[in-house]
Amino acid sequence: MGLTGIRATVVTAGVGLAILLSACGNGPPAQGGGGGGGSASIGVAGATLGTPVVKVIATSALQFSPKGATAKVGQVVGWMVAQDSVPHNVTWDADQALNSPQTVGPGQTWQVKFTVAGTYIYHCTIHPGMDGQITISG
Ligand SMILES: [Cu+2]
User: 9 C-alpha vs ligand 1 centroid, how far in Å?
Assistant: 78
User: 41 C-alpha vs ligand 1 centroid, how far in Å?
Assistant: 25
User: 86 C-alpha vs ligand 1 centroid, how far in Å?
Assistant: 7
pLDDT in tens, 47-95: 999 999 999 999 999 999 999 999 999 999 999 999 999 999 999 999 9
Q: What SS3 state is found at 68?
A: strand
Q: What pTM was estimated for this model as a whole?
A: 0.72
Domain boundaries, the chain: 43-137
User: 129 C-alpha vs ligand 1 centroid, how far in Å?
Assistant: 9
User: 28 C-alpha vs ligand 1 centroid, how far in Å?
Assistant: 25
CATH of 43-137, picked from 2.60.40.1120, 2.60.40.420, 1.20.140.10, 3.40.50.970, is 2.60.40.420
User: 97 C-alpha vs ligand 1 centroid, how far in Å?
Assistant: 19
List, in order, residues 6 or more apart from 36 with CB less than 8 Å away: none
**Exposed/middle/buried for residue 45 (C-beta within 10 Å: 0-12, 13-18, 19+):** buried
How would residue 39 be classed by pLDDT, with cut points 50, 70 and 90? low
User: 58 C-alpha vs ligand 1 centroid, how far in Å?
Assistant: 7
